[in-house]
Amino acid sequence: MISTAIHQLVAGFALGDAISHEALAIRDICRDAGLASEIYAPKDRIASDAANTCHPLSDYQPQTSDTVIFHYSITSPATTAFQSSPGRKIVIYHNITPPEFFVPFDADVARQLTEARQELKSILTLADAVWADSAFNAAELNDLGFPNAKVFPLLFRADGLDIPADQAVLAKFAVPMKNILFVGRIAPNKCIEELITAFAWFHKNIEPQSRLLIVGSDRSAPTYYSMLKMYAAELGMDTVFFERFASPSGLSAYYQVADIFATTSRHEGYCLPLVEAMYKGIPVVSRQTGGTPEAMGDAGVLFEDLRAEELAELFGLLCFDAPFKQTVIESQQKRMKTLLNRNVKAEFLALLAQGQ
Protein backbone atom coordinates (compact mmCIF):
# COMPACT_ATOMS: atom_id res chain seq x y z
CA MET A 1 0.00 0.00 0.00
CA ILE A 2 1.30 3.47 -0.92
CA SER A 3 1.41 5.74 2.12
CA THR A 4 -0.50 8.98 2.05
CA ALA A 5 1.12 10.27 5.20
CA ILE A 6 4.54 9.93 6.82
CA HIS A 7 4.58 10.88 10.47
CA GLN A 8 7.52 10.85 12.85
CA LEU A 9 7.86 9.94 16.50
CA VAL A 10 10.65 11.36 18.64
CA ALA A 11 11.47 10.98 22.35
CA GLY A 12 11.72 14.75 22.75
CA PHE A 13 11.75 17.85 20.59
CA ALA A 14 13.75 21.07 20.80
CA LEU A 15 14.80 23.47 18.06
CA GLY A 16 18.56 23.12 17.67
CA ASP A 17 18.66 19.49 18.79
CA ALA A 18 20.19 17.23 16.10
CA ILE A 19 17.42 14.60 16.02
CA SER A 20 14.69 17.25 16.07
CA HIS A 21 16.55 19.02 13.26
CA GLU A 22 16.54 15.84 11.18
CA ALA A 23 12.86 15.20 11.89
CA LEU A 24 12.06 18.70 10.64
CA ALA A 25 14.10 18.16 7.47
CA ILE A 26 12.30 14.87 6.77
CA ARG A 27 8.92 16.48 7.45
CA ASP A 28 9.68 19.18 4.88
CA ILE A 29 10.81 16.62 2.28
CA CYS A 30 7.59 14.65 2.79
CA ARG A 31 5.43 17.74 2.51
CA ASP A 32 7.30 18.77 -0.67
CA ALA A 33 6.46 15.33 -2.06
CA GLY A 34 2.77 15.99 -1.38
CA LEU A 35 2.48 13.77 1.68
CA ALA A 36 0.95 14.73 4.98
CA SER A 37 3.63 14.80 7.63
CA GLU A 38 3.73 15.72 11.31
CA ILE A 39 6.12 15.19 14.22
CA TYR A 40 4.96 13.85 17.59
CA ALA A 41 6.71 13.71 20.98
CA PRO A 42 5.64 13.26 24.61
CA LYS A 43 4.07 16.57 25.65
CA ASP A 44 6.38 17.12 28.62
CA ARG A 45 9.42 16.72 26.38
CA ILE A 46 8.52 19.34 23.79
CA ALA A 47 10.47 22.58 24.29
CA SER A 48 8.16 25.56 24.82
CA ASP A 49 9.42 27.36 21.69
CA ALA A 50 8.64 24.29 19.57
CA ALA A 51 5.01 23.84 20.57
CA ASN A 52 3.81 24.97 17.11
CA THR A 53 6.20 22.62 15.31
CA CYS A 54 5.86 19.36 17.22
CA HIS A 55 2.55 17.85 18.38
CA PRO A 56 1.90 16.06 21.67
CA LEU A 57 1.97 12.29 21.39
CA SER A 58 -1.63 12.15 22.66
CA ASP A 59 -2.73 13.75 19.34
CA TYR A 60 -1.16 10.96 17.29
CA GLN A 61 -3.87 8.94 15.55
CA PRO A 62 -2.17 6.38 13.33
CA GLN A 63 -3.90 5.00 10.24
CA THR A 64 -3.21 1.77 8.38
CA SER A 65 -2.21 3.77 5.31
CA ASP A 66 0.38 5.81 7.23
CA THR A 67 4.10 5.27 7.42
CA VAL A 68 5.61 6.03 10.79
CA ILE A 69 9.29 6.88 11.27
CA PHE A 70 10.57 6.37 14.80
CA HIS A 71 13.78 8.17 15.77
CA TYR A 72 15.29 5.96 18.43
CA SER A 73 17.93 6.87 21.02
CA ILE A 74 16.30 6.39 24.45
CA THR A 75 13.18 4.91 26.01
CA SER A 76 10.11 7.11 26.05
CA PRO A 77 6.31 6.84 25.71
CA ALA A 78 6.88 7.21 21.95
CA THR A 79 7.93 3.53 21.91
CA THR A 80 4.40 2.38 22.81
CA ALA A 81 2.92 4.64 20.12
CA PHE A 82 5.31 3.14 17.58
CA GLN A 83 4.51 -0.41 18.62
CA SER A 84 0.77 0.16 18.25
CA SER A 85 0.98 1.90 14.87
CA PRO A 86 -0.82 -0.26 12.30
CA GLY A 87 0.95 1.06 9.18
CA ARG A 88 4.44 0.68 7.74
CA LYS A 89 7.13 1.15 10.38
CA ILE A 90 10.62 2.57 9.92
CA VAL A 91 13.21 2.99 12.68
CA ILE A 92 16.04 5.51 12.39
CA TYR A 93 18.69 4.46 14.89
CA HIS A 94 20.63 7.38 16.34
CA ASN A 95 22.62 5.28 18.80
CA ILE A 96 22.14 4.91 22.54
CA THR A 97 24.66 6.53 24.88
CA PRO A 98 26.36 3.84 27.00
CA PRO A 99 24.61 4.09 30.39
CA GLU A 100 27.84 3.88 32.41
CA PHE A 101 28.59 7.51 31.51
CA PHE A 102 25.45 8.58 33.40
CA VAL A 103 25.71 6.30 36.47
CA PRO A 104 27.57 8.82 38.70
CA PHE A 105 25.31 11.69 37.65
CA ASP A 106 21.77 10.49 37.01
CA ALA A 107 20.62 6.99 37.85
CA ASP A 108 17.27 7.57 36.17
CA VAL A 109 18.80 8.43 32.79
CA ALA A 110 21.26 5.54 33.18
CA ARG A 111 18.28 3.23 33.76
CA GLN A 112 16.45 4.61 30.71
CA LEU A 113 19.53 4.06 28.55
CA THR A 114 19.93 0.50 29.84
CA GLU A 115 16.27 -0.20 29.10
CA ALA A 116 16.67 1.39 25.68
CA ARG A 117 19.39 -1.12 24.81
CA GLN A 118 17.25 -3.96 26.17
CA GLU A 119 14.16 -2.99 24.17
CA LEU A 120 16.04 -2.08 20.97
CA LYS A 121 15.91 -5.61 19.58
CA SER A 122 12.15 -5.90 19.97
CA ILE A 123 11.66 -2.51 18.30
CA LEU A 124 13.86 -3.48 15.37
CA THR A 125 11.99 -6.77 14.99
CA LEU A 126 8.74 -4.84 14.63
CA ALA A 127 10.14 -2.50 11.98
CA ASP A 128 9.60 -2.97 8.24
CA ALA A 129 12.80 -1.04 7.55
CA VAL A 130 15.74 0.05 9.69
CA TRP A 131 17.94 3.03 8.93
CA ALA A 132 20.98 4.27 10.83
CA ASP A 133 22.38 7.78 10.68
CA SER A 134 25.97 6.57 10.37
CA ALA A 135 27.82 3.43 9.32
CA PHE A 136 29.05 3.21 12.92
CA ASN A 137 25.45 2.96 14.12
CA ALA A 138 24.59 0.47 11.35
CA ALA A 139 27.53 -1.70 12.48
CA GLU A 140 26.08 -1.79 16.00
CA LEU A 141 22.77 -3.00 14.59
CA ASN A 142 24.61 -5.60 12.52
CA ASP A 143 26.20 -6.89 15.74
CA LEU A 144 22.71 -7.13 17.23
CA GLY A 145 21.62 -9.37 14.36
CA PHE A 146 20.12 -6.77 12.02
CA PRO A 147 22.46 -6.74 9.01
CA ASN A 148 20.11 -4.90 6.64
CA ALA A 149 20.15 -1.45 8.20
CA LYS A 150 20.52 1.25 5.54
CA VAL A 151 22.77 4.20 6.25
CA PHE A 152 21.01 7.55 5.98
CA PRO A 153 23.61 10.07 7.26
CA LEU A 154 22.31 12.69 9.65
CA LEU A 155 20.91 15.60 7.69
CA PHE A 156 22.67 18.93 7.63
CA ARG A 157 20.76 22.04 6.66
CA ALA A 158 22.73 25.21 6.11
CA ASP A 159 19.70 27.51 6.23
CA GLY A 160 19.55 27.26 10.02
CA LEU A 161 23.04 28.75 10.26
CA ASP A 162 22.75 31.37 7.54
CA ILE A 163 20.86 33.78 9.73
CA PRO A 164 21.97 37.07 11.29
CA ALA A 165 24.07 36.56 14.40
CA ASP A 166 22.70 37.53 17.81
CA GLN A 167 24.11 41.00 18.52
CA ALA A 168 24.08 40.47 22.28
CA VAL A 169 26.39 37.46 21.92
CA LEU A 170 28.70 39.35 19.56
CA ALA A 171 28.84 42.27 22.00
CA LYS A 172 29.58 39.96 24.93
CA PHE A 173 32.65 38.59 23.16
CA ALA A 174 33.64 41.77 21.32
CA VAL A 175 37.07 42.04 22.98
CA PRO A 176 39.33 40.13 20.57
CA MET A 177 40.59 36.91 22.12
CA LYS A 178 41.19 33.40 20.82
CA ASN A 179 37.88 31.60 21.23
CA ILE A 180 37.68 27.82 21.43
CA LEU A 181 34.13 26.63 20.91
CA PHE A 182 32.27 23.50 21.91
CA VAL A 183 28.66 22.97 20.86
CA GLY A 184 26.60 20.04 22.09
CA ARG A 185 24.56 18.71 24.97
CA ILE A 186 26.27 19.04 28.33
CA ALA A 187 26.31 15.30 28.94
CA PRO A 188 28.88 13.01 30.61
CA ASN A 189 29.72 11.11 27.40
CA LYS A 190 31.00 14.40 25.91
CA CYS A 191 33.83 14.44 28.50
CA ILE A 192 33.91 18.23 28.52
CA GLU A 193 36.18 18.16 31.58
CA GLU A 194 38.98 16.95 29.27
CA LEU A 195 38.40 19.95 27.01
CA ILE A 196 38.49 22.28 30.03
CA THR A 197 41.82 20.78 31.14
CA ALA A 198 43.35 21.20 27.67
CA PHE A 199 42.02 24.75 27.49
CA ALA A 200 43.49 25.52 30.93
CA TRP A 201 46.97 24.55 29.68
CA PHE A 202 46.43 26.56 26.50
CA HIS A 203 45.28 29.60 28.51
CA LYS A 204 48.04 29.31 31.07
CA ASN A 205 51.03 28.68 28.82
CA ILE A 206 50.16 29.47 25.22
CA GLU A 207 47.54 32.22 24.89
CA PRO A 208 46.31 34.00 28.05
CA GLN A 209 43.98 36.10 25.89
CA SER A 210 41.66 33.19 25.25
CA ARG A 211 38.20 31.89 26.08
CA LEU A 212 36.47 28.53 26.05
CA LEU A 213 32.83 28.82 25.01
CA ILE A 214 30.66 25.85 25.96
CA VAL A 215 27.31 26.05 24.22
CA GLY A 216 24.59 23.49 24.86
CA SER A 217 21.73 22.50 27.08
CA ASP A 218 22.50 21.31 30.60
CA ARG A 219 19.06 19.73 31.03
CA SER A 220 20.10 16.16 30.35
CA ALA A 221 22.59 16.07 33.27
CA PRO A 222 22.50 19.09 35.62
CA THR A 223 24.71 17.27 38.12
CA TYR A 224 27.39 16.81 35.45
CA TYR A 225 27.06 20.49 34.55
CA SER A 226 27.62 21.41 38.21
CA MET A 227 30.77 19.30 38.25
CA LEU A 228 32.08 21.13 35.18
CA LYS A 229 31.34 24.54 36.72
CA MET A 230 33.14 23.50 39.89
CA TYR A 231 36.08 22.14 37.90
CA ALA A 232 36.50 25.30 35.80
CA ALA A 233 36.48 27.37 39.01
CA GLU A 234 38.96 24.97 40.61
CA LEU A 235 41.41 25.61 37.76
CA GLY A 236 40.88 29.36 38.14
CA MET A 237 39.49 29.56 34.62
CA ASP A 238 37.34 32.68 34.61
CA THR A 239 37.29 32.71 30.81
CA VAL A 240 35.37 29.44 30.54
CA PHE A 241 31.86 30.51 29.55
CA PHE A 242 28.93 28.14 29.98
CA GLU A 243 26.43 29.60 27.55
CA ARG A 244 23.75 26.91 27.88
CA PHE A 245 21.19 26.34 25.11
CA ALA A 246 21.55 28.79 22.21
CA SER A 247 18.86 30.11 19.89
CA PRO A 248 19.60 29.73 16.14
CA SER A 249 20.81 33.37 15.97
CA GLY A 250 22.88 32.79 19.11
CA LEU A 251 24.47 29.71 17.56
CA SER A 252 25.25 31.71 14.44
CA ALA A 253 27.04 34.28 16.64
CA TYR A 254 29.09 31.68 18.55
CA TYR A 255 30.30 30.21 15.27
CA GLN A 256 31.13 33.73 14.08
CA VAL A 257 33.41 34.50 17.04
CA ALA A 258 35.05 31.06 17.23
CA ASP A 259 38.69 30.46 16.21
CA ILE A 260 38.62 26.69 16.78
CA PHE A 261 35.84 24.16 17.24
CA ALA A 262 36.91 21.36 19.59
CA THR A 263 35.32 18.30 21.11
CA THR A 264 36.77 15.63 23.38
CA SER A 265 33.60 13.54 23.36
CA ARG A 266 34.11 9.81 23.90
CA HIS A 267 30.83 8.64 22.40
CA GLU A 268 29.11 10.02 19.31
CA GLY A 269 26.69 8.45 16.86
CA TYR A 270 27.61 11.12 14.27
CA CYS A 271 28.08 14.66 15.79
CA LEU A 272 26.35 17.27 13.66
CA PRO A 273 28.10 20.32 15.25
CA LEU A 274 31.34 19.17 13.58
CA VAL A 275 29.66 19.66 10.22
CA GLU A 276 28.14 22.98 11.28
CA ALA A 277 31.54 24.29 12.34
CA MET A 278 33.14 23.16 9.07
CA TYR A 279 30.36 24.94 7.19
CA LYS A 280 31.14 28.12 9.12
CA GLY A 281 34.82 27.88 8.15
CA ILE A 282 36.18 27.14 11.63
CA PRO A 283 39.05 24.64 11.99
CA VAL A 284 37.67 21.54 13.70
CA VAL A 285 39.46 19.27 16.19
CA SER A 286 37.67 16.13 17.33
CA ARG A 287 38.46 12.92 19.12
CA GLN A 288 38.15 9.96 16.75
CA THR A 289 35.25 8.11 18.26
CA GLY A 290 32.09 6.40 17.02
CA GLY A 291 30.62 8.29 14.09
CA THR A 292 32.91 11.35 14.19
CA PRO A 293 35.23 10.12 11.36
CA GLU A 294 32.14 9.82 9.15
CA ALA A 295 30.98 13.33 9.97
CA MET A 296 34.45 14.73 9.31
CA GLY A 297 35.30 12.73 6.17
CA ASP A 298 38.82 13.59 5.00
CA ALA A 299 38.73 16.94 6.74
CA GLY A 300 39.69 18.73 9.94
CA VAL A 301 41.84 17.19 12.67
CA LEU A 302 41.00 13.88 14.35
CA PHE A 303 42.97 12.65 17.34
CA GLU A 304 43.27 9.69 19.66
CA ASP A 305 45.11 9.42 22.99
CA LEU A 306 46.43 12.97 23.26
CA ARG A 307 47.32 14.24 26.73
CA ALA A 308 45.65 17.51 27.70
CA GLU A 309 48.95 19.36 27.28
CA GLU A 310 49.37 17.94 23.77
CA LEU A 311 45.83 18.89 22.84
CA ALA A 312 46.57 22.42 24.11
CA GLU A 313 49.57 22.51 21.77
CA LEU A 314 47.37 21.35 18.90
CA PHE A 315 45.10 24.34 19.64
CA GLY A 316 48.25 26.47 19.51
CA LEU A 317 49.18 25.12 16.07
CA LEU A 318 45.70 25.84 14.74
CA CYS A 319 45.80 29.38 16.13
CA PHE A 320 49.31 30.42 15.18
CA ASP A 321 50.59 28.15 12.39
CA ALA A 322 48.94 29.73 9.34
CA PRO A 323 49.90 27.05 6.72
CA PHE A 324 48.67 24.26 9.04
CA LYS A 325 45.40 26.09 9.64
CA GLN A 326 45.02 26.69 5.88
CA THR A 327 45.44 22.96 5.13
CA VAL A 328 42.72 22.15 7.65
CA ILE A 329 40.35 24.82 6.35
CA GLU A 330 40.81 23.76 2.72
CA SER A 331 40.07 20.12 3.59
CA GLN A 332 36.90 21.23 5.35
CA GLN A 333 35.80 23.32 2.37
CA LYS A 334 36.12 20.24 0.15
CA ARG A 335 34.12 18.19 2.65
CA MET A 336 31.37 20.79 2.75
CA LYS A 337 31.11 20.80 -1.05
CA THR A 338 30.37 17.06 -0.93
CA LEU A 339 27.85 17.41 1.88
CA LEU A 340 26.07 20.38 0.32
CA ASN A 341 25.79 18.60 -3.03
CA ARG A 342 24.00 15.70 -1.40
CA ASN A 343 20.56 15.17 -2.94
CA VAL A 344 18.80 14.47 0.32
CA LYS A 345 15.31 14.36 -1.12
CA ALA A 346 16.21 11.75 -3.77
CA GLU A 347 18.18 9.75 -1.20
CA PHE A 348 15.28 9.76 1.24
CA LEU A 349 12.62 8.89 -1.33
CA ALA A 350 14.78 6.07 -2.74
CA LEU A 351 15.24 4.57 0.72
CA LEU A 352 11.54 4.94 1.37
CA ALA A 353 10.67 3.14 -1.86
CA GLN A 354 12.80 0.12 -0.91
CA GLY A 355 10.73 -2.76 0.34
CA GLN A 356 7.46 -0.88 -0.14
Partner 1 sequence: MMRIIVAGKDQTSEIGSELTHRAARHQGALSPWSAADSALSLKASRDMTDYLNRFGKLMRLRYALCTDPFPIPGKPGLAANLIKKLKTLLWKLLRYQHDRMSCQQNAINELVISAHDFQNSAMQQRLNALEQRIQELEREKHR
Query: Would you count residue 100 as binding partner 1 (CB under 8 A)?
Result: no
Q: Binding string to partner 1 for residues 206 to 235, with x set by CB under 8 A, is what?
A: --xx-------------x--xxx-xx-xxx
Residue 315: strand, helix, or coil = helix
CB of 303 to partner 1, least distance (A): 5
Q: Is 147 or 222 the residue whose CB approaches partner 1 more closely?
A: 222
Using CB under 8 A, which of the segments 12-20, 52-60, 70-78, 299-307 binds partner 1?
299-307
Task: Give exposure, 255-268, as e/b (b: 16+ Cβ within 10 Å).
Answer: bbbbbbbbbbbebb
Window 234 to 293, contacts with partner 1 (CB under 8 A): 234-236, 288
Query: Would you count residue 179 as binding partner 1 (CB under 8 A)?
Result: no
Query: Would you count residue 298 as binding partner 1 (CB under 8 A)?
Result: yes
Window 106 to 135, contacts with partner 1 (CB under 8 A): 106-107
Task: Give the DSSP H/E element, type plus range, for residue 141.
Answer: helix 135-143
Closest CA to 73 of 44, 101, 95: 95
Cα–Cα distance, 213 to 183 (Å, whole number): 8
Cα–Cα distance, 47 to 174 (Å, whole number): 30
Task: Give exposure, 204-216, as e/b (b: 16+ Cβ within 10 Å).
Answer: eebbeebbbbbbb
Query: Would you count residue 205 as binding partner 1 (CB under 8 A)?
Result: yes
How far is the first Cα of the chain from the last one, in angstroms, to the nearest whole number?
8
Query: Would you count residue 58 as binding partner 1 (CB under 8 A)?
Result: no
Q: Is 4 or 205 the residue whose CB approaches partner 1 more closely?
A: 205
Positions of E strands within 10-96: 39-41, 55-56, 66-72, 88-93
Q: Is 140 or 207 the residue whose CB approaches partner 1 more closely?
A: 207
Query: Would you count residue 330 as binding partner 1 (CB under 8 A)?
Result: yes
Q: Which of 304, 323, 337, 353 binds partner 1 (CB under 8 A)?
A: 304
Beta bridge partners of 8: 39, 69
Query: Would you count residue 65 as binding partner 1 (CB under 8 A)?
Result: no
* Amino acid in position 42: P
Site size toward partner 1 (CB under 8 A) is 48
Instruction: Give the binding site for partner 1 (CB under 8 A).
Output: 103-107, 188, 193, 197, 200-201, 204-205, 208-209, 223, 226-228, 230-231, 233-236, 288, 297-307, 309-310, 312-314, 316-317, 324, 327-328, 330-331
